[in-house]
Structures are given as structure tokens and as C-alpha cells.
Amino acid sequence: MNELLLILAVAMLVNPKGTRDASLDGKFTQAKSVEAPAFTSARPTVGFHDAARLRRGQRVFQQNCAVCHGRLAEGHPDWRKLGMDGKFPPPPLNGTGHDWHHPKAALVQVIKNGSPGGKGNMPAWQGKLSDQEIEGVIAWFQSLWPPEVRTVWARIDRESKRQ
């Protein structure tokens, strides 16, 4: 009996708030140490992708995505909280949300197919945007990511291809 109490006490010390270790956030704790970048303009940092692709991507983003995700892809301020409709508000795509947890193939999928199972408010863009436009729009929001986020994402993307 005493042993059981001891185990419980230790478990509480290790995880006092009962945080959800199994969640996506828990797996990528690096996210918390990355400073949110201060954006002063929509001008992306060049160097990750070529300039023509970025310009195309920026146009596609401002015409189709900015209405929900924000002009600087900053997302809804309460994107982590369920909205009145029981669905999540649009998250940031500027490297301060979950966007960089997903390998390229997963980003393409969510953009083409929308919210998984149609359960959220992200529309499906398959048939509305070409593959090239989707590539461009991803390149554009990735160009807003801070360099350290890009480095971690590049590793996640590489590892996803090995599995």
C-alpha cells in the first residue's frame, strides 16, 4: 500500500500538472524555446526558395488564405482554443504554430484535402489551386519562418522520407 502511494507521489513530482505528453506539442518541445519572430512587413526572407516562386506564392496566399490565416500568416489569436462552433480557429503558418511540425507531404495533403475528415474549417483546395500554386504558397509561408525553425523542419521532413 505504501509503495503505491510512493509511486503516485513520484509520478506527480515528475508531471505535476498532468501535461499531455503524448500530444503533438509534447513531442516537439523545441517549439517552446523558439522565439516568436517580430514581423514588421510581409516581405519574406529570401534564401530558402527562389524569388519567382515566392512572389507567386505570396499572391496565392493573399488571395486565398490571408482572409483566415492573416496577411502575415499570424493566425487567429485564439487558435489553440475551440471556437463557438466546436472547431479550431485558423492557426498561424508563420512558424509559431504547428505548421513546421508537418513534413512537406503532410502540408500538401492538408491544403489539398482541407481539415481531416471534414471536421474543421480548413477548406480543400484540390481542383482550385494547381500543384505549382500549392508549392508556391508553402514556399511563401515557409519563408516567414525563423531560421532555427526551418532547420528543425528540414530534419523532420528528411526523417519522414526515411520511414
In the complex, which residues of this chain contact ligand HEC (CB under 6 A)?
Answer: 64-65, 67-69, 88-91, 93, 97-99, 102, 107, 110-111, 115, 120-123, 125, 129, 137
Q: Which DSSP string corresponds to 129-143?
A: B-HHHHHHHHHHHHH
Nearer to ligand HEC, 13 or 25 (CB): 25
The cell for 45 is: 526572407
**CA Rg, the chain, in Å?**
19
Nearer to ligand HEC, 15 or 160 (CB): 160
CB of 111 to ligand HEC, least distance (A): 5
Nearer to ligand HEC, 11 or 78 (CB): 78
Of the candidates 96, 94, 98, 97, the one whose C-alpha atom is nearest the C-alpha of residue 106 is 98
CB of 64 to ligand HEC, least distance (A): 4
CB of 2 to ligand HEC, least distance (A): 46
Of the candidates 136, 123, 115, 6, the one whose C-alpha atom is nearest the C-alpha of residue 62 is 136
